[in-house]
Amino acid sequence: MKLSKGEFETFWPFISNTWTAGTRRVSSTHTTQYFRCLFHKPETTHAKGTGIRAKSTRIAIACPARMRVNFHPLQELYSVSLTSQSPHNHTLEEVDERRRPEAVKNIASQQIACGYSPATVLAALRGQNGRFPESLEALVEAGSRHLTLDDVKNSGRKVLTRYPDNRFSSNHFDANAQVQQALEFLSQDNVWHYKDLKAIRECDGKPSYAIAWAHNTRIHALTRHGRFVLMDATHKTNKLGWLLYTLMVRDDCGSWLPTCHLLTEKADGDILALRLQTFKQWCGGKWQLRYILTDDSAVEQRAVRLAFRGLMDGETEVSHLLCRVHCERTIRRKLAGDALKETRQHLLAALKHRRTEPGCDESIELALHTCKKEADKTYIRDNWVKVKKLWANYAREHSPILLQVGIASNLPRLVLIILGR
C-alpha cells in the first residue's frame, strides 16, 4: 500500500499504539523502518520490585505480525507492507486498552497548552457526561475508549514543565508567606476590603488563622440584599488544603452573587464567627441578616449564633435553614435500601411538600412507624425530629423570599457549582 506523506502523517498517529519500532535502515534513495506488534513478546514481563506497582506490564500473546515502512523522500511517498505470513492474533480493542493512540494524546496536550485542566480536557473528550454524545463516539472511533485522567496528565506534562502556571509559582512557600503575598495583592487597588484574622479556638485553645476579603461593590450588594444569605465552603482550594467560605446573595434580577470570602486553615466556629463580625463592620452595621442557608454543618450553625446574637445585641433574630438538596442527599444515603423506601418517602414529603407543622409531624410519625429497626428510629429522632424547623418545608411557607428558593430543587444549579458542591 502506498500513501503520500500527508496521508501517512494523518493516519499513523491513530495506529501508532499498535506497533513498536525495530530496525531502521537508511540508503541513498529511501529509508526503511521495521515494526513489530505491541504484543510481540512470548512471555509476560513484570515491573521490578515486590510492591503494589510490581504488576504485569505486557500480555503474553506473542503476536507474529510484522510490518515494513519505506519512505522515499524525493517522491514524498510511503510504501507500507506486512512482512509476516500471519496477521494479528488479537483484537484492536486489546491494544487500545493497553496503550492509547498518539493522536488523542496530541489533542489532550494541545488543550492543556491552552490552559485547561486535565479533568476539563478529559470531560470534554468524553462528551461532558452525555451532553455531547458525538464527542464520545469520535473518542471511541479513535481508539481511546479507555482514556484515563493519568493519560491526559502525562500528555500535557512536557507542556506544563516548559510553560509552568505562574499562579502556582509560590506553592513552595509556607502559609505565612503566601498570606502576605495575598494581602499585598489586595492592597494594590483601593477596591478591596481585606483583613488577616486570628482566633483562639474554644475547644482546645489553639490559634486558627484566616484571610477575609470582599470587593467594594459586593459589600454594597451584601448590605442591600443581605436579608437572605447562602453560605458554604469549598474544600482543598489550594496546596495548603485551606477551605474557602463564600457568602452569596440574590440581586434584583434574581441572580446569585458571591459577595464575601474567607480562606481559612481550619473549619471552626470561632474563626467563622470572627469572619461574619468583620463583614458586619465592613457593611457599617447596615447588614440586616434575617435568614441564612447552609448545609448541615455544626461549625457554620455555631458561627452564626456567635456572630448574630439577635435581641441580645439589639438585632433581628436570625433563622438558620438547612439546604434542601443536602438534606435530601443525606436522607437517601443514611436511609438507603428497599426496606426503608416508605420511610424515605415520608421524610422527603416533610422536607419538600408539607405546608403546616401538624402535617410535617404526621409525615415524621409515619416515617418512624414504617421503620423496623430501632437504630433507624433513633437516628431519625436525634438528627431530624429535634431540628425540624431547620429543614422542613412548613418553616419556610410564611416567607415569599424563602419560597422562591425552596420550590423544586431549592437552589439553582449555578449556585451549587459556585459553592463547590
Please give the grid coordinates belonging to residue 142. Answer: 479513535
62: Cβ–Cβ under 8 A, 6 or more apart, which residues? Answer: 39, 40, 41, 42, 89
The verdict on residue 393 lying in a domain is yes
The verdict on residue 319 lying in a domain is no
Q: Does residue 106 share a domain with residue 93? A: no
Where are the strands (E) in 147-279, listed by range?
192-200, 207-215, 228-234, 243-250, 256-264
Q: Does residue 261 share a domain with residue 330? A: no
Q: Does residue 283 share a domain with residue 198? A: yes
- As a whole number, mean pLDDT of residues 235-241 equals 79
Average pLDDT over the chain, rounded to an integer: 84
Q: Is the pLDDT of residue 213 over 90?
A: yes
Per-residue pLDDT band for 311 (boundaries 50, 70, 90) equals low
Sign of the dihedral defined by the CA atoms of residues 150, 152, 155, 159, in that order: negative
Q: Is the pLDDT of residue 346 over 70?
A: yes
Q: Does residue 227 share a domain with residue 200? A: yes
Task: Match 476579603 to its residue by C-alpha cell.
Answer: 213
The verdict on residue 113 lying in a domain is yes
The verdict on residue 143 lying in a domain is yes
Q: Is the pLDDT of residue 366 over 90?
A: yes
Per-residue pLDDT band for 130 (boundaries 50, 70, 90) equals confident
The verdict on residue 56 lying in a domain is yes
Q: Is the pLDDT of residue 403 over 70?
A: no
Q: Is the pLDDT of residue 106 over 80?
A: yes
Q: Does residue 112 share a domain with residue 87? A: no
The verdict on residue 315 lying in a domain is no
Cβ atoms of 392 and 360 within 8 Å: the answer is: yes
> Rounded CA gap, 390 and 419, in Å?
20
Please give the grid coordinates belonging to residue 298. Answer: 455544626
CA distance from start to end of the chain: 54
Cβ atoms of 36 and 22 within 8 Å: the answer is: yes
Please give the grid coordinates belonging to residue 30. Answer: 529511501
Q: Does residue 108 share a domain with residue 72? A: no
Residue 279: phi and psi, rounded to 5, are: -65, -35
User: What is the reported pLDDT for 412?
Assistant: 38
The verdict on residue 169 lying in a domain is no
- As a whole number, mean pLDDT of residues 272-294 equals 90
> Rounded CA gap, 364 and 346, in Å?
7
The verdict on residue 301 lying in a domain is no
- Could you please report the per-residue DSSP string of 308-343? --GGGGT-PPPEEEE-HHHHHHHHHHHT-SGGGHHH
Q: Does residue 118 share a domain with residue 82? A: no
Considering its fold, how many domains does the chain have in total?
4
Q: Does residue 109 share a domain with residue 59? A: no
What is the tens place of the pLDDT at every residue in 140-159? 888 888 889 999 989 888 88
189: Cβ–Cβ under 8 A, 6 or more apart, which residues? Answer: none
Instruction: Give the gyration radius of the chain's Cα atoms.
Output: 30
User: What is the reported pLDDT for 170?
Assistant: 60
Q: What interhelical angle do 298-307 and 269-282 show, nearest 10?
A: 40
Ranges 46-55, 215-224, 247-256, most confident: 215-224
> Rounded CA gap, 129 and 138, in Å?
14
Per-residue pLDDT band for 245 (boundaries 50, 70, 90) equals very high
The whole domain housing 397 covers 324-418
Cβ atoms of 113 and 163 within 8 Å: the answer is: yes
What is the tens place of the pLDDT at every residue in 174-198? 788 888 888 998 998 889 999 998 8
Domain end: 57, 74, 98, which one?
98
Please give the grid coordinates belonging to residue 164. Answer: 509552568
- As a whole number, mean pLDDT of residues 69-93 equals 88
Instruction: Compute CA distances 322 → 51, 261, 294, whole Å.
Output: 46, 20, 5
Q: What is the DSSP letter of 104?
A: H
Q: Does residue 183 share a domain with residue 278? A: yes
For the chain, the maximum distance between any two Cα atoms, rounded to a whole number of angstroms, is 95
User: What is the reported pLDDT for 351?
Assistant: 92
Q: Is the pLDDT of residue 257 over 80?
A: yes
Q: Does residue 131 share a domain with residue 34? A: no
Domain end: 43, 74, 98, which one?
98
Q: Is the pLDDT of residue 48 over 70?
A: no
User: What is the reported pLDDT for 368?
Assistant: 94
- As a whole number, mean pLDDT of residues 46-57 equals 56
> Rounded CA gap, 354 and 324, in Å?
13
Q: Does residue 90 share a domain with residue 113? A: no
State if pTM tops 0.75.
Answer: no
> Rounded CA gap, 195 and 198, in Å?
10
- Residue 70's SS3 state is strand
Q: What is the DSSP letter of 366?
A: H
What is the tens place of the pLDDT at every residue in 331-345? 999 999 999 999 999
Other Cβ atoms closer than 10 A to 77? 16
Cβ atoms of 45 and 62 within 8 Å: the answer is: no
Domain end: 238, 271, 291, which one?
291
Q: Does residue 267 share a domain with residue 201? A: yes
Please give the grid coordinates belonging to residue 92. Answer: 484492536
> Rounded CA gap, 98 and 92, in Å?
10
